[in-house]
Structure 1
Amino acid sequence: MTIEIPGYRPGTWVLDPAHSEVTFSVRHMMISKVRGTFGVKSATLVAPENPLDAKVEANVDVTSINTQDEGRDAHLRSADFFDVENHPSMEFVSTGTRVENGDFIVDGDLTIRGITKPVSFEFEFGGFGQDPYGNYKAGASAKTVINREDFGLTWNAALETGGVLVGKEITIGLDLQGALQA
């Protein structure tokens, strides 16, 4: 199957970290959500003529975690959670792209804390355009939900009122902008 995307150009696209963000949210005390961000080290999309044959590789800097609370961030960097001393990054490598019910789905292998599991991101293209400096850019957003325990992130605390401090499901969001390499 071949698809057409208006403005799409084949080639190698490299992520612009200044205009990209990885976000997450998780239930806290089962009554609210905590949100945070990670810095993106690198991401490359190799895009052939057919967008469904594209390949993506990305590396996220786990040490950059920011939830707007320094104490919580330090705990998340510790061996209780991400163990950044031994696992300073998360990686994603795509294994395929498909269209399902009109939505783009990028399947791949996500590695967190040395554990690799298959995940699927729902992708939404933001569009294509040329910036004032002559660079051809693309924008996209994506989202997936994972069970943190599948990746060895199992620390938790029981609450006196019932339930636990940290939910199992993590929503990961991507807001990305990349440039076509000449």
Structure 2
Amino acid sequence: MTIEIPGYRPGTYVIDPAHSEVGFTVRHMMISKVKGAFHVIEGTIVAPENPLEAKVTAKADVASINTKDEGRDQHLRSADFFDAENHPTIEFVSTGVREQDGEFLVDGDLTIKGITKPVTFTVEFGGFGVDPWGNYKAGATGSTKIDREEFGLTWNAALETGGVLVGKDVTITIDLQGALQA
């Protein structure tokens, strides 16, 4: 099955780190949510004639984590959480693309802290366009939910009022923009 996407051009798109980000949201103290982000350092989208045969790779820099609280960010970089010294990147490699009920789903392997698990991102295409310098660009946003403990991110603290400091479920959102290579 081949699908039509307006503006779609086959080729290899190199992800632009200045216009891409990996964001996350997690429950804090069971009463609110904390958001943070990592810088995307590299990636590609290989787009063949049939978009459902596309391949995506992306890599984010763990040390770049930013939750707007430097103390928390230092703790997240430590061995209690991401262990940035021994696991400097978070990586995603797609294993398939499919269309289901009008949505695009990208299946793949997510590696965090040296642990690889299958995930599925629900993807929204932002579209295609030419920048002022003549570069053909593509943009997309994908989101998924993971259990952080399955990736070895198990640190937590019990609260006096019951419950825990950090929730297990984490929503990950990847915003990517790539440039078609000549």
> Which TM-score bucket, shorter chain as reference?
over 0.9
Task: Quote the residue 1:42 is aligned against.
Answer: 42
- SS state at 1:81 partner: coil
Q: 1:23 and 2:20 equivalent?
A: no
1-structure distance, mates of 2:57, 2:5: 21
2-structure distance, mates of 1:78, 1:54: 35
- Gaps spanning 5+ residues in structure 1: where? none
1-structure distance, mates of 2:150, 2:130: 41
- Gaps spanning 5+ residues in structure 2: where? none
| Residue correspondences, number | 182
Per-residue CA distance 1:93-134 (angstroms, 9 max, x = gap):
000000011000000000000000000000000111101100
1-structure distance, mates of 2:103, 2:67: 30
2-structure distance, mates of 1:181, 1:89: 25
TM-score (norm 1): 0.99
- SS state at 1:160 partner: coil
1-structure distance, mates of 2:58, 2:20: 12
What percent identity do the matched residue pairs reach?
76
Task: Quote the residue 2:72 is aligned against.
Answer: 72
- SS state at 2:117 partner: strand
1-structure distance, mates of 2:57, 2:21: 15
TM-superposed CA distance for 1:17, in Å, is 1.1
Task: Quote the residue 2:100 is aligned against.
Answer: 100
Per-residue CA distance 1:60-108 (angstroms, 9 max, x = gap):
1011000010100000000000001100001100000000110000000
Task: Quote the residue 1:121 is aligned against.
Answer: 121
Task: Quote the residue 1:157 is aligned against.
Answer: 157
2-structure distance, mates of 1:22, 1:111: 13
Q: 1:169 and 2:169 equivalent?
A: yes
Task: Quote the residue 1:59 is aligned against.
Answer: 59
Per-residue CA distance 1:127-171 (angstroms, 9 max, x = gap):
111011000001111110000000000000000000000000000
2-structure distance, mates of 1:142, 1:45: 13
- SS state at 2:8 partner: coil
Q: Which amino acid aligns with 1:23?
A: G
